[in-house]
Amino acid sequence: MLVNLRNALAEKNVTNYMRCLADTGYAPRPFRYVADPAVANSNPGLFDNWGYEREQVYINQLKLFLPKDSTSALNLTPLSETPTQQDSAVFIQAYHLVVNYKCDQPECFRILDGQAEFRFVRNNEDLWYIHRWEDKSTGDNPTWSVLRAYFGK
């Protein structure tokens, strides 16, 4: 699943990106994104109900600002993997994301680092989906939540 997520970002493929996330039409639990607390606090209300539809708005907006020749690269480093039941699992990954989008602001965040906690759920067709994605800061670089805040408004 995480390989599909990485490939969808590299290929700028919104459809494949969204296929990684739990949609109530296919998965037993809805998708929920939980932003890094500092980013959530600086964007009051933005992340309160961030689900599948809001994620789709964000990724479509981001794609509009990606030049055809731009590249995006997501590197994930496993920190822990915990199967919680037969139909769910939790993967904690350190991430490093480079996104080369068009930006005319004085501060454009193109290098993002943090820790993602992915909670997976399996549907009755044995397909796995991310149903909960939590983002946490791990250093001085901005997190993925910053990118969502920028393109998800």
What pLDDT digit, counting tens, does each position of 21-57 carry?
998 787 888 999 999 999 999 999 999 999 999 999 9
Q: Can you list the positions of beta strands (E) in the chain? A: 32-34, 72-85, 88-99, 111-122, 128-136
pLDDT at 33: 98
Q: Which residue reads 């067709």 in tokens?
A: 125
Among candidates 80, 70, 79, 78, which has minimal Cα distance to 2?
Answer: 78
If one looks up domain 2-151 in CATH, what number appears? Answer: 3.10.450.50
For residue range 19-29, what is the model confidence (pLDDT) as tens digits? Answer: 999 987 878 88
Q: Kindly list the domain boundaries of the chain, sorted by start residue.
A: 2-151
Average pLDDT over residues 77-93: 90
pTM above the 0.85 mark? yes
